Structure 1
């Protein structure tokens, strides 16, 4: 019985080793199936992204057509506004001219009023002269009447003492008669002059006042027209504001769609690169399976699903994973990684063994390195962004701790730092990196 015991122990050890080997092969086969399933899911996601990209491009085209239509409306409104503003300026010019004309007419009326006042004084003086002449004529007529009218002149002539005296008296009588005639003619002329001046000044004043009323009516009409044009301008300004607001919305939507399109293209490229990296991971797993078949006692390493990555760079945390106010876009959005405050040029280390799927400029990430990892049957993707330089290339296998680049401030960054992300099962499924860092 003692002799059989060693053989029994050996047999038990062989059976145990066989079971371990079977378990390892079974687990590794299961891992390969999971990898193939993940590859299939990536291919499906790529097709979905293609469809989403097509929809986005269609929306971009529709948005551009709307922008063209709105721009046409804006151009038309611009022309209407220009025409309206020109009309307003023309009306204002007419109003200014009318105001000047009203001022001139007002000044003319004031001048006529002054002229009327002067004429009143002149008329008053003329009337006083007329009164004096009329009084003089009345006195002379009374004297003539009292002395027998024209017979008085004959008596004067007949009372001449000599021919020379007769001639002298005749001349004197003629002078007196001429004076009387002159007084009467002057009196008549003064009366006519006064009446004419009164009539002329009053007519001028009436004409100017009528003209002023006409011009004031014209000014009122022009101001009403201007008010209508200003109201029209207000309506056009409102329409323009609405169109410009709509255009701003369309441009913002277009930028968002372009950003989505860019993100889709980048994500497609990332997924294509990941698919290639995972193919390589599958090939590596198959090689490991073959190696296990050859080495029955070799076991695959297993680790803790938490704390599986080393810190890619040492530095204090400046921004945690989660929702935050974006410092550049000024909106609340998911910060899908952890930021480490490190200076430009700090060495960047591979957080774990893996295959580089992408090392390039990726939109807001700037220079970024994407690595596909396969650890304990689970695939991961890590992203290190805003790098100043990269020393690896797509398809390259890297080892944990290997320097793969230098940190920096490229892309949408407000200062030198490292943005680090962890995605489970492939890019697009971000988780808090701190839960997976040692």
Structure 2
């Protein structure tokens, strides 16, 4: 009997030796300390402040550009008046040119002299006396000088006409270029500001999530140099179960056209429909609530649960919840109701949902603990619906049990 007990004890001991290092290594290999988590929180807060400063700077640049555009518009208005004045002068010149041509013709007809030099000579030598000859010479000279002056004036007015037209075209080109330049500047600045605003929203959510995690670990008694993955007691598990008693997959994990944003982007989990709002949502495994985000514009109410499945750390995420039934730090089992299905009329703030459903994501590691970056979470995502994890049937095929 003693030998049997001894053998059993040895077997149990060997199993414990095999299991514990596996769990410890898995936790330690990815874990950060509370001190590092606090440092990342400080870094995120600095990013928020830097983002705010960048927004203010960009807004100032936009206002400066708008002032420049306002000044340019006033200049355009002034120049347009100048253009209209130039057009009026051109019209007057054309009238004067026409009148000058007619005046020359009238003078020549009055003295019965054509434009050729020979006709001037015929007129002069047609004198009947010396005095008539002198008079005719004087008249011919005056007429010639006056005619030359009119012709010079005519040519000058043509030059002025051409100059004004050239200035008009150059002014139009300059003004159009200036308008285009300012429009491009405003467009670029607005895009930059929009990017800062989007980034600010993400950063604020990260700060809120990390602050919640820091408070959670502090309240759990973790010290600054403790490893986060080992300083909190967590119920382990051996596998996953489905988060709903029934339902059907309505959207797969992976890239797809977004149903409300109308862009092609990554769907970070699977959607499960076929349930009305208020239907119970369960944790897919034993674990502990790590983060909670409420009333997000895209995702609504969200719960993040930490799991240890056979030594591998996971974070399950439940989005578009109508209600949240847990709080950060709560230990949960795989039959704990963590919330209820939302995404319909009961969650009007959630702009990324078109109807009642549950969005389920699953990632390796503990998001908000062993890492805090959204991009790292995305890189660690797995397909929760695959048979390796939660095993949700293919699109539009119903399941009627949490197990399979």
**1:436 corresponding residue in structure 2:** 389
* Equivalent of residue 286 in structure 2, options 325, 334, 353: 353
Counterpart among 74, 86, 90 of residue 77 in structure 2 = 86
**Maintained 8 Å contact 2:216/2:329:** no
Contact 1:70 1:243 in 2 (8 A): no
Note closer, same or farther for the CA distance 1:272–1:118 as it changes in structure 2 (3 Å cut). same
2:186 is aligned to: 244
Residues 1:37 and 1:13: Cα distance change in structure 2 (over 3 Å):
same
Deviation at 1:367, TM superposition (A): 1.1
Q: Which has the higher helix share?
A: 1
Quote the Cα distance in structure 2 between the aligned partners of 1:208 and 1:63.
67
| Structure 2, unpaired ranges of 5+ | 113-134, 223-228, 368-376, 392-404
1:360-417 CA distances to partner (integer Å, 9 max, x unpaired)? 2345321112223344444432111012333333344444344421231453414123
Aligned to 1:227: 169
Give 1:388's aligned residue.
Answer: 322
What secondary structure does 2:316 align onto?
Answer: strand
Query: CA offsets, 1:156-209, max 9 Å, x none?
Result: xxxxxxxxxxxxxxxxxxxxxxxxxxxxxxxxxxxx9xxxx9999999998877
1:313/1:336 Cα in 2 relative to 1: closer, same or farther (>3 Å)?
Answer: farther
> Superposition RMSD on alpha carbons, in Å?
4.9
Gap change, CA 1:235 and 1:372, over 3 Å in 2: same
Deviates more, 1:100-109 or 1:345-354: 100-109
| 2:65 alignment partner, SS class | helix
Query: 1:65-90: CA deviations, max 9, x gaps?
Result: 75267436624642552354134213
SS at match of 1:433: coil
Tell me which of 426, 429, 435 is aligned to 2:366: 426
TM-score, normalising length from structure 2? 0.64
Distance 1:274 1:373, change over 3 A: farther
Q: Distance in 1 between matches of 2:192 and 2:271?
A: 34
Q: CA deviation at 1:50?
A: 2.9
Kept in 1, the 8 Å contact 2:289–2:327? The answer is: yes
Is the deviation greater in 210-219 or in 269-278?
Answer: 269-278
* Alignment size in residue pairs: 348
1:420 and 1:272, CA in 2 relative to 1: closer, same or farther beyond 3 A?
A: farther
Q: TM-score, normalised by structure 1?
A: 0.60
Residues 84/232 of structure 1: CA separation in 2 closer, same or farther (3 Å cut): farther
- Cα distance in 2 for partners of 1:333, 1:270 equals 28
Question: How much does 1:420 deviate?
Answer: 0.3
Superposition deviation, residue 28 in structure 1: 7.7
Unpaired runs of 5+ residues, structure 1, are 1-7, 122-191, 289-301
Contact 2:269–2:383 (CA under 8 A) maintained in structure 1: yes
SS in 2 for 1:41: coil
Q: Give the 5 Å matches for 1:138-153.
A: none
What is the distance in 2 between the residues matched to 1:304 and 1:29? 14
Answer whether contact 2:384 2:390 (CA < 8 A) is retained: yes
Separation in 2, partners of 1:264, 1:272: 12
Bigger drift between 14-23 and 364-373 goes to 14-23
Write the distance in 2 (CA, Å) between the matches of 1:319 and 1:208: 87
Secondary structure of 1:244's counterpart equals: helix
SS at match of 2:185: helix
User: Higher Cα Rg: structure 1 or 2?
Assistant: 1
